[in-house]
Structure 1
């Protein structure tokens, strides 16, 4: 989804927000080892609330709405307009770092663009040139600076969702114009960030569900530079029904199978409602899918039309979401349900 849309939704609407983050269990032990083993920790639930400090502040409201469910994952994005912002210039990172360090079992998830002017409609031929420059090391210093910034802020274990939705058509960090050099560029970024003393970053490879502009497996840069295999998945075509979203080429089932084959845990950095409106059936199915497959974390996009907490146009889905995650249900949060168990519940 558009990062610019996230900024506008966060900046212009006091009612956008949501962060759901799961209760229970501590996060798996340090960084790379935990992610590769798949851990045994319970799912950390998150949401896109706002790109800056208001995102931190809104977590308390969602927790209250969920009957006191503890929020364990914080999720935001670095703007891709300038290299200085990609280097971690936004002052709001201090607020996120304070939130992360207030409790040992929290998880900070940060989407990081791979190019500046990331939503400026750059044509494919220019994208290919930028990818080749990145593969040759021209931008390494920007990512070292970001890594140094995060370590200095006390969040050396940040989950880095690098170059998200790279299989799409829009972002300047898209893969299709030169997949081989794109993979080399990813590898250089990871090497640059891992070179910083004190880091324990986790790198999350997160395509869009489906083929989009290119099969996302063609962009996979290698097991040694990926710690988590994620997927962004909204209720939209291709796949009008949830079953179609599972079974489509490079869909939800392929995501789970691919991660298992590569020995990686999974995540859902972005998901939510979209083209099919207030779809309680989708909400039940997606939450049950998450409960069954136990990702490291998942994060709903919680502004209209995607969200449920402060997006009043989705009341039926909001009821499902709240029931599923609320501590008032007394069933241990999402890990207490299975797909068939939850789908058997009546329509709200």
Structure 2
């Protein structure tokens, strides 16, 4: 969606976005272990496992340092997972060149129960405004294997850094209009391209990656179900969902076509966990009812993780313009 395109155009050009996640023990069944061979990491909905909750704080390594501050603000709540993005400007960065990955890997390996989530672009020049006809050519080239080596290099980089169990949010918001890794110009070859990437990364010895399919909420440029590449190459069904149309109220965001309820139902039908890599305030200002609704939704449906975008206008900790929403968020997620 356009607001995230503006944000990542700045962040990814220079570095990456980071989200920090803290654990809320809402449910009591642990996730199934992954062996890297495909299939499900568990199902969404009631009975799913622990929920990792979080907030975008800072791109790159400083985000790790800010976890202690967020923890203190939330009354000492334990932070157990971290989330960042690879820049989509060059293939070298998509291959895992940013040195901040070392910092995140060290953080991940300080505790065995932590979760590392990494958004990975499927194309270079991912925010360069590439036209549809050229995007279609790039999709077809990827589907034929032209980029397999880039993703094998990324997989080796992650394994060598000691994070072979990374959750890979591959080609996020693929149903939108902006990213060069968007699906609409050629959905069938886009699905084939996703499958090539997953296959390439799974060839690397020692990997135990989980792949998260995370569209925008709503139909956007194309129905996100039309881009789904298959149960054997998807482990988590995610969704990026901000407080904006379509859906003036939270209830409308739940019931709209390709909205929150359809995501949960789709994931359940396919035997997958759910996630919310990006969510937050936007078009409707300080909206505590939206925040309350989202947090209740997470508590009811037990996603693997969710991450609020914590800068203005979306956030609740580093953004002072949403005091009522801040109060709801802090009271709901503080330890004790």
- Which among 314, 320, 331 is matched to residue 322 of structure 2? 314
Q: Kindly indicate whether residue 194 of structure 2 is the aligned counterpart of residue 191 of structure 1.
A: no
Aligned mates of 1:263, 1:206 — CA distance in 2: 16
- Which among 210, 230, 254 is matched to residue 222 of structure 1? 230
Name the structure 1 match of 2:22: 21
Aligned mates of 1:319, 1:20 — CA distance in 2: 18
Name the structure 1 match of 2:176: 168
- Which among 250, 274, 284 is matched to residue 258 of structure 2? 250
Aligned mates of 1:170, 1:212 — CA distance in 2: 11
**Deviation of 1:71 (Å):** 1.0
Aligned mates of 2:9, 2:162 — CA distance in 1: 25
Q: Kindly indicate whether residue 4 of structure 2 is the aligned counterpart of residue 2 of structure 1.
A: yes
- Which among 36, 40, 58 is matched to residue 42 of structure 2? 36
Name the structure 2 match of 1:325: 333
**Deviation of 1:227 (Å):** 0.2
**Deviation of 1:45 (Å):** 1.3
Equivalent residues of 2:291, 2:328 under 8 A apart = yes
**Deviation of 1:238 (Å):** 0.5
Q: Kindly indicate whether residue 153 of structure 2 is the aligned counterpart of residue 145 of structure 1.
A: yes
Equivalent residues of 1:167, 1:216 under 8 A apart = yes
Aligned mates of 2:212, 2:94 — CA distance in 1: 17
Name the structure 2 match of 1:340: none
Worse-superposed segment, 65-74 or 159-168:
65-74
Name the structure 2 match of 1:79: 87
Aligned mates of 1:247, 1:258 — CA distance in 2: 13
- Which among 270, 283, 307 is matched to residue 262 of structure 1? 270
1:215/1:33 CA distance change after superposition, 3 Å:
closer
Equivalent residues of 1:52, 1:76 under 8 A apart = yes
Secondary structure, aligned partner of 1:275 = coil
Equivalent residues of 2:151, 2:197 under 8 A apart = yes
**Deviation of 1:26 (Å):** 9.2
Aligned mates of 1:217, 1:34 — CA distance in 2: 18
**Deviation of 1:159 (Å):** 0.3
Please list the CA deviations of residues 192-233 of structure 1 after superposition, one character each: whole Å capped at 9, or x if unmatched. Answer: 000000000000000000000000000000000000000000
Worse-superposed segment, 170-179 or 45-54:
45-54
Aligned mates of 1:96, 1:18 — CA distance in 2: 11
**Deviation of 1:40 (Å):** 4.5
Gaps of 5+ in 1: 329-348
Aligned mates of 1:193, 1:17 — CA distance in 2: 22
Aligned mates of 2:184, 2:334 — CA distance in 1: 41
Aligned mates of 1:11, 1:178 — CA distance in 2: 26
Q: How many residues align?
A: 325
Worse-superposed segment, 25-34 or 249-258:
25-34
**Deviation of 1:27 (Å):** 6.0
1:311/1:3 CA distance change after superposition, 3 Å:
same
Equivalent residues of 2:238, 2:274 under 8 A apart = yes
| TM-score with structure 2 setting the length | 0.92
1:319/1:11 CA distance change after superposition, 3 Å:
farther
**Deviation of 1:47 (Å):** 2.2
Gaps of 5+ in 2: none
- Which among 113, 119, 126 is matched to residue 111 of structure 1? 119
**Deviation of 1:18 (Å):** 6.6
Name the structure 2 match of 1:46: 54
Name the structure 1 match of 2:298: 290
CA-based RMSD: 2.1
**Deviation of 1:22 (Å):** 1.4
